[in-house]
Amino acid sequence: MYTGIKHLHSGLAYLLLAALIVSIVYAFASRKKPFTAGSKKIALIGLIFAHLQFVAGLALYFLSPLGASNFSGDAMKEKVSRLYIVEHPLMMLLAIVLITIGYSRIKRLGSDSRKYDSIIIFYGIGLLFILSVIPWKVWP
Ligand code: HEM
Ligand code: HEM
């Protein structure tokens, strides 16, 4: 179970990063064009991978020896274990909340260019948060 979810989480990370980059580049390139159902679908792919990755990460947090079971004062003092216990989960949660807000705003915003801006800004900041807490020493 642990190994399977760990591989899923590791693999979904590629798909999520790719989907976020495609969403942002597409929104940036389309800013002056109408916002269509297709534009929304591209952003939806990023949202779905973000939500899936969150569920996989949450499961991993309770299955992995690096997650909740490693919680202690000593682990907090050590950079790598603190990354897995606190920084990685919290920043990733924040990133996914931002991505979800960016997607939800599409329904409410009036003008097409502001819909694209919502994706560029919220997905963009979300992507930066994600990149800041990926454990680069062990991934890819
Ligand atoms: C703990 C797990 C999850 C939480 C807390 C969560 C939370 C949310 C929230 C708050 C929204 C609202 C966005 C809006 O305002 O429209 C949303 C939308 C959505 N979620 Fe999740 N989600 C979770 C898991 C998943 C999973 C596993 C998937 C799919 C594989 C998924 C797919 C979607 C989709 C497709 C939408 C957008 C619906 C639309 O088109 O408006 N979510 N989710
Ligand atoms: C945007 C969301 C996320 C991304 C892109 C992401 C990415 C990654 C990557 C690339 C790894 C390294 C996997 C490997 O060693 O091959 C990892 C490990 C881990 N992630 Fe995430 N993660 C995300 C969200 C989360 C969340 C929300 C949690 C917990 C609530 C979480 C918990 C963990 C844990 C516990 C590990 C260590 C697994 C182990 O080696 O035993 N992740 N994550």
Read off the pLDDT of each residue in 3-26 and give the average, rounded to a whole number. 98
Q: Is 132 in the pocket of ligand 1 (CB under 6 A)?
A: no
Say how many Å lie between the CA of residue 50 and the centre of ligand 1. 9
Say how many Å lie between the CA of residue 51 and the centre of ligand 1. 6
Ligand 1 atom 17 nearest Cα: 100
Q: What is the pLDDT of residue 121?
A: 98
How many other CB atoms sit within 10 Å of the CB of residue 133?
Answer: 18
Give the distance, in angstroms, between the CA of residue 102 and the centroid of all CA atoms in the same chain: 12
Q: Is 115 in the pocket of ligand 2 (CB under 6 A)?
A: no
Tokens 């949450």 — which residue?
58
Q: What is the pLDDT of residue 33?
A: 97
Q: What is the pLDDT of residue 28?
A: 97
Say how many Å lie between the CA of residue 75 and the centre of ligand 2. 17
Q: What is the pLDDT of residue 41?
A: 98
DSSP annotation string for the chain: -HHHHHHHHHHHHHHHHHHHHHHHHHHHHHTTS---HHHHHHHHHHHHHHHHHHHHHHHHHHHSTTTGGG-SHHHHHSHHHHIIIIIHHHHHHHHHHHHHHHHHHHHH--SHHHHHHHIIIIIHHHHHHHHHHS-TTT--
Say how many Å lie between the CA of residue 73 and the centre of ligand 2. 21
Per-residue model confidence as pLDDT tens digits over 97-138: 999 999 999 999 999 999 999 999 999 999 999 999 999 999
Using an 8 Å Cβ cutoff, are 99 and 122 in contact?
yes
pTM of the entire structure? 0.93
Mean pLDDT of the chain: 97
d(CA 5, CA 12): 10
Q: Is 46 in the pocket of ligand 2 (CB under 6 A)?
A: no
Residue type, 37: A
Q: What is the pLDDT of residue 49?
A: 98
Ligand 1 atom 16 nearest Cα: 104
Atom of ligand 1 nearest to the CA of 100: 13
Q: What is the pLDDT of residue 86?
A: 97
Tokens 């819909």 — which residue?
115
